[in-house]
Chain A
Amino acid sequence: MDSLVIAGKSFRSRLFIGTGKFASTSVMAAAIEASGTEMVTVALRRVDIQNPCDDMLSAIDRTRYQLLPNTSGARDAAEAVRLARLARAASGIHWVKLEVTPDPYYLLPDGTETLKAAETLVKEGFVVLPYIHADPVLAKRLQEVGCATVMPLASPIGSNQGMRTKDSIAIIIEQATVPVVVDAGLGAPSHAAEAMEMGADAVLVNTAIATAADPVRMAAAFKQAVEAGRLAYEAGLPPKSTTAQASSPLTGFLRNE
């Protein structure tokens, strides 16, 4: 399979993993391992002063995995830029998954604020991977301001509904000159395979793995699905037909015509 290249960095795995919602740090680490991923997302939050707990980053081998801090919780461009700067100060990492989600119910991204934040962060030297609605026009605008990828949602974050925005994602894939990462809402390995068969460059999965009965086995299932989907895309899917196209020869039947 081809490697995926983002901002000059090569990735063999096309599955990115989110680290939220895992029952424990050890399960998270085992799921990351089983997934074969090379890119994991993390979030920034206030320390609980009464209860400062362990550093979850210590469970992630940063020589093997590209850490991708997100700006989750940001409600506008200013908050997202602040979070990205804090993440860079905390980790030295200048990659950021840019997300601006003012609406707490559907967590849909605010395109206007995302574009504004992306322009600022690109100028400050960040590698920006913006989380967006499956909006082909916005995807182009983000690409034009220098984003390293676009990350359209399949369906709302954590909803497990799969590829509800399939038609728009197909247009984004057709037009994009940067990698397209389908993010959010992929609830089953088949959803991930579907995105990859369409030509998505990668997928990002968190909830479907972290909240599965067995997150480690689910991570392995997503790994295989992503690989299968990519392989099928590279192999070239045959065209669809509304009528049957016989697989066996239509001559030499054992009957008299």
Chain B
Amino acid sequence: MSWTLKINGTPQTFEPSEQPATLADLLKQLQMDKAAVVAEVDGQVVPREHFAQTVLRDGQSIELIRFVGGG
């Protein structure tokens, strides 16, 4: 069965073969440097050292955030 994860507000469908087991797997799939990213899963901040242990499920809402220039 396919999954839908809402990533940064946009729903994305994942077929069974491409479903990321953990947050770290998702970042790898999206080709993101995990050192530069901070994540929230269903409104809860996930510390970077827990990315690999954070198991993902269908229907979750994930925010991936990074630092940018700002005043």
Interface set of B (CB-CB < 8 Å, partner A): 7-10, 30-33, 35-38, 40, 45-48, 63-71
Report the Cα distance A87→B39, complex, angstroms. 10
Given contacts A86-B45, A90-B38, contact A55 B66 (CB under 8 A): yes
Residues of B within 8 A of A46 (CB): 8-9, 63-65
Which residues from chain A contact B66 at a C-beta distance below 8 Å? Answer: 44-45, 47, 55, 90
Q: Top 6 A-B pairs ranked by shortest CB distance? A: A43-B70, A18-B71, A90-B38, A206-B71, A55-B36, A19-B69
Shortest distance between the CB of B20 and any CB in chain A (Å)? 13
Taking CB atoms, residues of chain A closer than 8 Å to B68 are 20, 42-45, 56
Inside 8 A of A56's CB, which chain B residues have their CB? Answer: 67-69
A72 and B45: CB pair below 8 A? no
A55, B65: Cβ atoms closer than 8 Å: no
Contact B64 A49 (CB under 8 A): yes
Q: How far is the CB of A78 from chain B (nearest CB, A)?
A: 11
Closest to A22 in B: B69
Inter-chain contact B40/A19, CB cutoff 8 Å: no
Q: Is the CB of A90 within 8 A of B70?
A: no
Contacts of B30 in A (CB 8 A): 49, 52
**Please, how many angstroms separate the alpha-carbon atoms of A108 and B40 in the complex?**
28
With A52-B30, A57-B36 known as contacts, the answer to whether A45 contacts B71 (CB < 8 A) is: no
In chain A, residues 50-65, which have Cβ atoms closer than 8 Å to a Cβ of chain B?
52, 54-58
Most A C-beta atoms less than 10 A away, residue of B8, B35, B36: B36
Q: CA separation between A85 and B40, bound complex, in Å? A: 10
Which residues in A have their C-beta under 8 angstroms from that of B10? 49
Q: Which residues of B contact A20 (CB under 8 A)?
A: 68-71
Q: Which residues of A contact B71 (CB under 8 A)?
A: 18-21, 41, 43, 70, 72, 157-158, 184, 204, 206-207
Decide if A52 touches B32 in the complex (CB within 8 Å).
Answer: yes
- Measured in the bound complex, the distance between the Cα atoms of B49 and A6 in whole Å is 30
Q: Give 17 A-B contacts (CB < 8 Å), ordered by A residue.
A: A18-B70, A19-B70, A21-B69, A42-B70, A44-B65, A45-B65, A46-B63, A47-B37, A47-B64, A47-B65, A49-B30, A52-B33, A85-B45, A87-B38, A87-B67, A90-B48, A158-B71
CA A54 – CA B69 in complex, angstroms? 12
A89 close to chain B: CB less than 8 A: yes
Q: Which A residues are CB-close (under 8 A) to B67? A: 42-44, 55-57, 69, 87, 90-91
B32 close to A86 (CB less than 8 A): no
Interface centre among B7, B40, B48, B66, by most chain A C-beta atoms within 10 angstroms, is B66
Given contacts A20-B68, A47-B37, 19 further A-B contacts (CB under 8 A): A18-B70, A18-B71, A41-B70, A42-B67, A43-B69, A43-B71, A44-B38, A45-B66, A46-B63, A47-B32, A47-B66, A52-B31, A55-B33, A55-B35, A87-B38, A89-B38, A90-B66, A91-B67, A184-B71
